[in-house]
Amino acid sequence: MNFRLSPAVRTLQPSATIAAAGKAKALKASGVKVYDFTLGEPDFNTPAHIRAAAAAAMDAGHTHYTPSGGIPELKQAICKAYDRDYGLKFLPNQIVVSNGAKHAIHNVIASLCGPGDEVIIPTPYWVSYSALVELTGAKAVLVATTPESGYVLTPEQFEQAITPRTRLLMLNSPSNPTGAVYPVPAFEALAQVAVKHQIPVLSDEIYEKLIYGDSEFRSFASFGEEVQKLTVIVSGVSKAYAMTGWRIGWSIAPAALTTVIDNLQSQQTSNPCSISQYAAIAGLTGPQDSVSDMHAEFVKRRTYVLDRFHQIPNVAFVEPGGAFYIFFDVSHYFGKTLQGGKVVHTATDFCTALLETAHVALVTGDAFGAPGYVRLSFATNIETLGQGINRLAEFLNPK
């Protein structure tokens, strides 16, 4: 290869979730039945009224460029949704609509960080966080949380990780991959530290509508005016409205930072898809029954998955309070003979052997900063979950 690669991409790896899904798809293409639990994607179709709004937008000729940061109508719909759902009041000039929440996260990091800066990320963390930080030349400072803490970063840990180079804390509640939901007092304690040290916080709230049991969702921006001045919310329509492929996410930040983010996006990608923006308006402002219906189904799936995993010996996990993942420790099985005579020593090897032998696709915890763990997405029907978990259990404990 004669191209001289930039330092930013020389060590860049593909997204582990997308790579795992790609392996599963390749095996499927060869004619093998694969039980694929890799992607964080609701299996439901986008609700009919949202699809209808997209068709109406096309018929109305909304097929041209829009303002780079999104159409005014969608920004207003986002403001109304936050007021309706959380009592949070924002203005349209605080919002940039992007090509999905991942794009919004990249915009925020690129706007705030550069070479030599540091970004604090609690682990386990979503696979793209550290990569997006490193693309700016900044350093990801990984702070380990534990199952015993419920995968919650403590204010003491946060404060100890702060240095003169710290530019940002990244939080994700509910969490991918753990499903952890920060208790309200724990979130508020972190907010107090952020205010004390004037550290901006990127709060990834994409799973906000998927909360279970006694868990409670609170937006990080809800803890007072001083906290809100430091908070950048990132969310979108992908998970709540089954609109992953429509690629609509957003950031909500103080107006001055929002202007910078909009300028950046105008040079990067220009506007997100015009049709998708009109569809997103229908999702946010239309009937919310579909959100409730999908949530009810996820509750059933979570209950089923937890019941099944409680029956698998020597697999440790924390019950997820949100999202649609179970993140479990398989390190007990390292060095032991598994189905097909396989012996593995890492979570990555475990996922490879499981796919090759039992045709079950999971994502390695190595990519999430949690060696020894693997992630299963229960965003699929119970029949498929049952068959896949049967195969997983047999792989672990062959007869």
Note down pLDDT in tens along the chain; length 399 residues.
588 888 888 888 877 777 777 888 888 888 889 999 998 899 999 999 999 999 999 999 999 999 999 999 999 999 999 999 999 999 999 999 999 999 999 999 999 999 999 999 999 999 899 999 999 999 999 999 999 999 999 999 999 999 999 999 999 999 999 999 999 999 999 999 999 999 999 999 999 999 999 999 999 999 999 999 999 999 999 999 999 999 999 999 999 999 999 999 999 999 999 999 999 999 999 999 999 999 999 999 999 999 999 999 999 999 999 999 999 999 999 999 999 999 999 999 999 999 999 999 999 999 999 999 999 999 999 999 999 999 999 999 987
Using CA of residue 48, residue 54, residue 56, residue 58, what is the dihedral sign?
negative
Look up residue 376 and give its two tokens. Answer: 């299963």
The CATH 3.40.640.10 domain(s) of the chain lie at 64-285
Question: Which parts of the chain fold into alpha helices (H)?
Answer: 7-10, 16-29, 48-59, 72-86, 101-112, 128-135, 155-161, 184-197, 225-230, 255-268, 274-285, 289-309, 347-358, 382-396
Domain 64-285 belongs to what topology?
A: Aspartate Aminotransferase; domain 2 (3.40.640)
Distance CA 399, CA 78 (A): 54
Q: Which CATH class is domain 7-45+290-396?
A: alpha beta
Q: How are strands ordered across the β-sheet holding 166-172?
A: 95-98, 249-252, 231-236, 201-204, 166-172, 118-123, 139-144
Place of tokens 């924390």: 318
What CA–CA distance (Å, rounded) separates 37 from 351? 11
Question: What are the residue ranges of CATH 3.90.1150.10 in the chain?
Answer: 7-45+290-396
| Residue 10 neighbours by CB under 8 Å, 6+ apart | none
Tokens at 18, concatenated: 């997308």
